[in-house]
């Protein structure tokens, strides 16, 4: 097979070469037969775009129909699987036409949503929501036609892009490399009230909630709705043998004779408790088990999906071979608790599952700014229970699983007795053990899973970190940053990079000025470089003014997402002292009006609200300040 995009995927994944079994994969889903590439079958059976399976009219489709396999499966949400990929001929025509159409480069989150839309995983949606669907989903958890749907799926764009659009226009949606993936026929363009959306959908406008934070701080301000025509699915180059469209998974169920399938959703590594829970659930409802972890976007700070999938593959060895399968879900989670649980159930229905496990605190976003949980631990179960008859997928509710020492067994917490010795290790405690290289008991996990996690998540003293100084010009940031750099080099063990304000402006941001927009861009660049250094185990020391709280927060997110630590040091030397020092003579010029928009004089500086350290260089020496930073790094485990 030749050609680009999704067609290639079949070749790359090896699925059409008739070999899907990986090293551990007695249990991997075998699609060999279903790809129509076995003896006597031609590749003409392949669907457009290459990933759907058994297109209408194909030999395979006929075979499945004759045997009544497809009809035995649970119906997709809304009745029909909305595969939005076009046939090769239409695709060729569209590719020739779209060159002059407006074009939008999709964000990481939009790419995930697009894939879910194009494959039918979001059936009955046929595109990004229009205003009527959006408003009813937000307010009543239903599409405009009354179908249950709890989560907005919207395409957010910039004001500038939206200004040039009107209803009926066709927009080309591209991946970050510029490859056209789909065409959107614009039905609506509107400015949503994003705070109202956050309150209605997430029950809060607190930015400590990852979904709220994305909506209010990262999403663009205008929504564009419309039907999609799919040209190519987003390309994946990882774990292709474990990625399936709803059509492929349905065909697999049909092929294997799976009628009752219980799905398990996760964004975390799985340990013994999860294994016990999923097996119990499958036995309880006498169903086959589909482990379907999310590999799109999860909560910032989660363990990366590459590591997790290797762990799942190890774990799969512990399940009965004939009855369990692993498949990856390219969903971008919103961490929306109850609404998200209901959404997950609908999605699993589209993949052919009849049952869905909802545990404690499903898709929970953690604690709010006051340290309280956003949702009750079993609120998600309550919501799914309310809708399960209407949506037709059955929930398998589960309590938290704990280990009872005397019985040498995991049981749901409500089945323990007062005299039992109950053992459990929380996610936080497990991460601490990884971070500090502390032993993980055998009752908690499997040695190969822990080993895998330790490989990519070494203890803190071997991880990278970023020390981010912020403060007024002349506050002493560069002096401290230089001294810290030398101290760290003296200690050894890590590559150290200094990203000083002036140096960055000379090499990385030489074209930028000091408007808010340019300052933000400058800081994001620094954040990007620092996160790359951190990811690779180095120490990045940044020393820009970075006057805006939100941009500094973005840097923290980037660094933490890269799997390292961020230490924000507020150099709080008062303006009067900085001005008196005036080493570069810039304050004098700013006061004289020769420089406009000078931080602290006629431009704002927003002090950090919760920095790891605050240092006033008028009150402490350089050595003293360095010691405080090193002690902080030591307390956090980054140096020892």
Alpha carbon distances (Å) from 335 to 266, 344, 349: 12, 11, 20
Q: Which is nearer to ligand PPS, 16 or 586 (CB)?
A: 586
Q: Which residues, including other chains, have CB under 8 Å from residue 560's CB and lie 6 or more apart?
A: 300, 301, 566
Closest CA to 116 of 265, 249, 246, 248: 246
| Count of alpha carbons within 13 angstroms of residue 209, beta-carbon side | 25
| Residue 529, token pair as written in the block | 């470089």
Rounded to whole angstroms, the Cα distance separating 475 from 69 reads: 72
| Residue 5, token pair as written in the block | 């995009």
Rounded to whole angstroms, the Cα distance separating 514 from 166 reads: 35
Q: Which is nearer to ligand PPS, 216 or 508 (CB)?
A: 508
- Where does residue 102 fall: left (phi above 0), alpha (psi -120 to 50 degrees), or beta otherwise? beta
Peptide bond just before 39 cis, omega within 30 deg: no
Shortest distance, position 633 Cβ to ligand PPS, whole Å: 23
Q: Which residues, including other chains, have CB under 8 Å from residue 440's CB and lie 6 or more apart?
A: 425, 430, 433, 434, 450
Q: Which is nearer to ligand PPS, 459 or 597 (CB)?
A: 597
Q: Which is nearer to ligand PPS, 205 or 520 (CB)?
A: 520
Shortest distance, position 598 Cβ to ligand PPS, whole Å: 4
H-run or E-run covering 212: helix 210-213
Shortest distance, position 500 Cβ to ligand PPS, whole Å: 7
Rounded to whole angstroms, the Cα distance separating 558 from 536 reads: 13
Shortest distance, position 31 Cβ to ligand PPS, whole Å: 52
Closest CA to 180 of 228, 214, 135: 228
Shortest distance, position 613 Cβ to ligand PPS, whole Å: 18
Shortest distance, position 615 Cβ to ligand PPS, whole Å: 15
**Cross-strand partners of 358:** 397
CB atoms within 10 A of CB 283: 12
Q: Which is nearer to ligand PPS, 538 or 597 (CB)?
A: 597
Shortest distance, position 579 Cβ to ligand PPS, whole Å: 12
Counting every residue written for the chain, the total comes to 640
Q: Which is nearer to ligand PPS, 222 or 484 (CB)?
A: 484
Shortest distance, position 520 Cβ to ligand PPS, whole Å: 8
Q: Which residues, including other chains, have CB under 8 Å from residue 26's CB and lie 6 or more apart?
A: 321
Shortest distance, position 593 Cβ to ligand PPS, whole Å: 12
Q: Answer whether 553's CB lies under 8 Å from 511's CB.
A: no
Q: Which is nearer to ligand PPS, 293 or 471 (CB)?
A: 471
Q: Which is nearer to ligand PPS, 423 or 576 (CB)?
A: 576
Shortest distance, position 511 Cβ to ligand PPS, whole Å: 13
Name the packing angle between helices 516-535 and 549-561 (round to 10°). Answer: 20
Q: Which is nearer to ligand PPS, 502 or 623 (CB)?
A: 502
Q: Which is nearer to ligand PPS, 134 or 598 (CB)?
A: 598
**Cross-strand partners of 565:** 465
Q: Answer whether 97's CB lies under 8 Å from 183's CB.
A: no
Catalytic-residue membership of 266: yes
Rounded to whole angstroms, the Cα distance separating 279 from 288 reads: 9
What Rg do the C-alpha atoms of the chain give, in angstroms?
27
CB atoms within 10 A of CB 498: 18
From the candidates 11, 268, 368, 497, which is the catalytic residue?
Answer: 268
Shortest distance, position 544 Cβ to ligand PPS, whole Å: 3
Q: Answer whether 58's CB lies under 8 Å from 36's CB.
A: yes
Q: Which residues, including other chains, have CB under 8 Å from residue 36's CB and lie 6 or more apart?
A: 42, 43, 44, 45, 46, 54, 58, 59, 60
Using CB atoms, what's the residue nearest to ligand PPS? 501
From the candidates 45, 107, 266, 324, which is the catalytic residue?
Answer: 266
Q: Which is nearer to ligand PPS, 545 or 625 (CB)?
A: 545
Closest CA to 159 of 219, 226, 99, 228: 219
Q: Answer whether 105's CB lies under 8 Å from 178's CB.
A: yes
Q: Answer whether 138's CB lies under 8 Å from 215's CB.
A: no
Rounded to whole angstroms, the Cα distance separating 400 from 107 reads: 35
Catalytic-residue membership of 259: no
Q: Given the rule CB under 6 A, which residues bind ligand PPS?
A: 473-474, 478, 501-502, 505, 514, 519, 522-523, 544-547, 584, 586, 595, 597-599, 603
Catalytic-residue membership of 268: yes
From the candidates 267, 308, 433, 460, which is the catalytic residue?
Answer: 267
Closest CA to 190 of 217, 165, 153: 165
Which residues participate in catalysis according to the annotation? 266-268
């Amino acid at each position: 097979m030749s050609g680009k995009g999704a067609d290639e995927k079949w070749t790359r994944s090896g699925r059409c070469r008739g070999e899907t079994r990986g090293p551990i994969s007695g249990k991997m889903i075998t699609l060999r037969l279903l790809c129509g590439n076995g003896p006597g079958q031609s590749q003409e059976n392949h669907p457009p775009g290459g990933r759907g399976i058994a297109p209408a009219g194909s030999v395979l489709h006929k075979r499945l129909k004759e045997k009544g396999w497809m009809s035995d499966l649970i119906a997709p949400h809304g009745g029909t699987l909305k595969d939005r990929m076009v046939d090769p001929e239409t695709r060729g025509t569209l590719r020739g036409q779209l060159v002059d159409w407006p074009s939008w480069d999709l964000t990481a989150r939009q790419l995930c949503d697009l894939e879910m839309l194009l494959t039918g995983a979001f059936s009955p949606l046929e595109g990004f929501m229009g205003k009527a669907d959006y408003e009813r989903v937000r307010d009543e958890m239903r599409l405009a036609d009354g179908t249950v749907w709890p989560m907005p799926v919207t395409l957010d764009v910039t004001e500038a892009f939206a200004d040039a659009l009107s209803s009926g226009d066709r927009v080309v949606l591209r991946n970050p490399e510029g490859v056209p993936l789909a065409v959107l026929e614009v039905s609506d363009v509107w400015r949503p009230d994003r705070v109202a959306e956050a309150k209605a959908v997430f029950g809060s406008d607190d930015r400590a909630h990852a979904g709220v934070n994305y909506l209010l701080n990262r999403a663009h301000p205008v929504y564009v709705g419309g039907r999609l025509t799919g040209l190519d699915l987003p390309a994946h180059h990882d774990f292709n043998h474990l990625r399936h469209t709803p059509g492929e998974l349905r065909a697999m169920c049909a092929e294997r004779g799976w009628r009752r399938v219980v799905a398990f959703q996760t964004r975390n590594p799985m340990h013994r408790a999860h294994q016990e829970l999923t097996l119990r659930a499958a036995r309880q409802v006498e169903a086959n088990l589909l482990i379907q972890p999310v590999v799109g976007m999860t909560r910032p700070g989660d363990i990366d999906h590459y590591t997790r999938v290797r762990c799942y593959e190890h774990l799969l060895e512990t399940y009965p071979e004939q009855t369990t399968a692993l498949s990856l879900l390219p969903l971008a989670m919103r961490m929306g608790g109850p609404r998200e649980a209901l959404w997950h159930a609908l999605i699993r229905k589209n993949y052919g599952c009849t049952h869905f496990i909802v545990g404690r605190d499903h898709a929970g976003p953690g604690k709010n700014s006051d340290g309280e949980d956003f949702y009750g631990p079993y609120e998600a179960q309550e919501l799914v229970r309310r809708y399960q008859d209407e949506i037709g997928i059955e929930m398998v509710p589960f309590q938290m699983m704990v280990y009872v020492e005397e019985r040498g067994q995991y049981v749901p917490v409500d089945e323990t007795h007062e005299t039992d010795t109950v053992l459990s290790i929380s996610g936080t405690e497990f991460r601490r053990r990884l971070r500090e290289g502390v032993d993980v008991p055998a009752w908690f996990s499997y040695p190969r899973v822990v080993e895998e996690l330790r490989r990519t998540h070494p203890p803190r003293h071997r991880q990278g970190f970023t020390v981010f100084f912020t403060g007024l010009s002349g506050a002493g940031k560069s002096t401290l940053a230089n001294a810290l750099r030398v101290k760290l080099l003296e200690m050894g063990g890590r590559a150290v990079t200094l990203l000083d304000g002036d140096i960055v402006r000379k090499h990385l941001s030489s074209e930028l000025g000091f408007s808010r927009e340019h300052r933000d861009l400058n800081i994001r660049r620094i954040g990007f470089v620092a996160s790359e250094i951190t990811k690779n185990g180095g120490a990045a020391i940044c020393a820009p003014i970075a006057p805006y709280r939100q941009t500094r927060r973005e840097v923290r997110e980037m660094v933490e997402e890269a799997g390292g630590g961020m230490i924000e040091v507020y150099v709080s030397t008062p303006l009067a002292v900085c001005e008196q020092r005036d080493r570069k003579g810039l304050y004098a010029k700013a006061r004289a009006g020769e420089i406009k928009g000078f931080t602290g004089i006629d431009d704002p500086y927003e002090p950090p609200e919760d920095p790891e350290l605050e240092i006033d260089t008028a009150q402490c020496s350089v050595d003293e300040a360095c010691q405080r930073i090193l002690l902080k790094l030591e307390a956090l485990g980054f140096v020892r």
